[in-house]
Amino acid sequence: MTGILRVPRTRGVASGVLLILLGFWGALAPFVGPYFHFAYTPDTAWAFTAGRFWLEILPGTVTVIGGLVLLVSAFRPAAMVGAILAAAAGTWFALGSLIAPLWTGYGPVGPYAIPAALYPGTPVGGPIHIVAERLAFFTGLGLVIVAISSVAFGRLTVVGAREAQMAASRTPVEQPAMASTATTQRLPRRIPLHRPATSPKTPAETTDGEGQRTNVFRRLVSARSSGGGDEES
């Protein structure tokens, strides 16, 4: 089971690098975009606002962290957490500026009385320029981050045949160890006692013993027969 939790680092390299680049873009675009007249107000380079922090810098930083975890982690649950962090940041990129007008009444700034902490500014330029800025800074950027994170998370949930073989090779074989333990714990065999060696009987001794048994048998038979004769007389 532990071997399956390991994942090759190559599994999240492409997704991790893309997420890091997108996170840097999302966090730095509002500061460098004014150089190219591609930004939200204030149209000034390196101008810091609370709205830029909560809606762009923070989710961009979280995306970079998630991409780094995917890039360097060889532990499957940790890499999955990195993908989830990046997906959450992408969701906030896509929806944060859209739901900001719903929170009103706390230090209103700008149109619709949006709180300062959630006010992204207004896009500059013509209609096509505004659509491109909306997609590049918020909605489109967030959707791309969510898509890449979802693909990375899906790949991490699948255990490939190669990974299963690697996990099986890392698992120690327990049966030989158990057999050796049982062999070492087996009781020693009993050693039979040596009986004293008896010298083989000679033919003469064998004959004398059989003759004695025959004489004894004859005496018993004669005694019985004589006893039976006495009783009859």
Q: What is the Cα–Cα distance from 139 to 23, expressed in whole angstroms?
A: 14
Q: What is the pLDDT along the chain (233 residues), one digit of tens a residue?
A: 455 677 776 778 999 999 999 999 999 999 999 999 899 988 889 999 888 999 999 999 999 999 999 999 888 889 999 999 999 999 999 999 888 767 655 445 555 566 777 888 889 989 999 999 999 999 999 999 999 999 999 988 887 656 555 555 655 544 444 544 545 555 555 555 555 555 555 555 545 555 565 666 677 666 666 655 544 44
Q: Which residues touch 69 (CB under 8 Å, ≥6 apart)?
A: 16, 78, 79, 81, 82, 85
pTM beyond 0.75, yes or no: no
The answer to whether the peptide bond before residue 34 is cis (omega within 30 degrees of 0) is: no
